Amino acid sequence: MPAILLDGKALSAKIETELSARVERIRQQNNNVAPILATILVGADPASATYVKMKGNACRRVGMESIKVEMDEDTTTEQLLAQIQQLNDNPDVHGILLQHPVPAQIDERACFDAIALEKDVDGVTSLGFGKMAMQQFAYGSATPAGIMAILKAYDIEIEGKHAVVVGRSAILGKPMAMMLLNENATVSICHSRTENLPDMVRQADILVGAVGRPELIRGDWIKDDAVVIDAGYHPGGVGDIEISAITDRCRAYTPVPGGVGPMTIATLMTQTVMAAERYYQK
Ligand code: NAP
């Protein structure tokens, strides 16, 4: 059987169409006031600036508004905390996105954790992570939540499967592992000190590559019929997994680009709309 292409681009377009209708409903019920996502970009990293721009464009596509906060490279933790507090206190703002990474002098964890839980639509707070892990309501970290959405949309069976997550970052690998565990996968988490990474990867029924190194995970480490999810994106259009080597023998795979990336943004949009709906239902 040919491998299933887990088409994040097509799925995110469908999600955006549904979100447009929900945003329109919010506007109709609230004097044409739209949900607002506030984005904070600290410094001038071109990749981060592009990601923030893409998120602003996605807001426009679904009829939402965005407030763009740009702060200097030499911003202090205190200044960023004060900015986040202002957005927490602003009733017009429904979601807050602090673009990762922030410059090295800033305590990023403290700043993430200062975001009000009900506005943490990118799922970066420790409290949100803890609630998600305990299967209570919280917005999931956008990239792993987007991966779960694509697995669900394509009816990929998770229960009882061995999921191997390569990477353990706070925004991706760790929440990914927890979300898969919540869906009853048996989960292994690998990282830079893991011994025999190829042998670990060989055991995966579901493999998630989130290492940030171009094609570090080689095709010949991956067993036939695995479901292969590649979170990475590098110049030249390659991810963290050597996807081209397995497209004819895996069960399903995310393309790079057009797999996980669009789902991250669609999830951020979905969670912002949810935050606005919850705000107006209060
Ligand atoms: P990160 O913070 O740099 O974390 C990388 C993880 O990979 C770490 O846990 C690290 O282990 C592990 N690692 C590094 N080298 C390894 C090796 N040789 N063997 C095994 N594990 C290794 O990166 P991230 O933010 O999680 O991002 C991961 C990937 O996802 C990147 O390619 C990034 O571009 C992509 N990403 C995509 C989106 C999207 O929207 N599509 C969003 C976020 C990230 P240690 O913990 O031991 O250091």
Q: Whole-model pTM?
A: 0.98
Cα-to-centroid distance, 33 and ligand 1 (Å): 38
Whether residue 1 has pLDDT greater than 90: no
CA 21 – ligand 1 centroid, Å: 35
Question: Which part of the chain is CATH 3.40.50.720?
Answer: 142-261
Q: Is 99 helix (H, G, I), strand (E, B) or coil?
A: coil
The minimum-distance atom of ligand 1 relative to the CA of 146 is 40
Whether 182 shows a pLDDT value over 90: the answer reads: yes
Q: Which two tokens stand for residue 102?
A: 């922030």
Residues of the chain with CATH 3.40.50.10860: 31-117
Is any atom of ligand 1 closer than 6 Å to the C-beta of 217?
no
pLDDT at 282: 77
CA dist 194 and 238 (Å) reads 23
Q: Decide if pLDDT at 109 tops 80.
A: yes
**What does the pLDDT read at residue 17?**
98
Tally of CB atoms within 10 A around 59: 25
Is the domain defined by 31-117 classed in CATH 3.40.50.10860?
A: yes
CA of 166 to the centre of ligand 1 (A): 8
Topology of the domain comprising 142-261: Rossmann fold (3.40.50)
Angle between helices 260-281 and 8-29 (to 10 degrees): 20
Write down the pLDDT at residue 221: 98
The pLDDT, as a whole number, for residue 239 is 98
User: Is 135 labeled as catalytic in the residue annotation?
Assistant: no
Count Cα neighbours of 78 within 13 Å in the Cβ-side half-sphere. 0
> Does 173 contact ligand 1 (Cβ within 6 A)?
yes
First-to-last C-alpha distance (Å) of the chain:
49
**CB of 264 sitting under 6 A from ligand 1:** yes
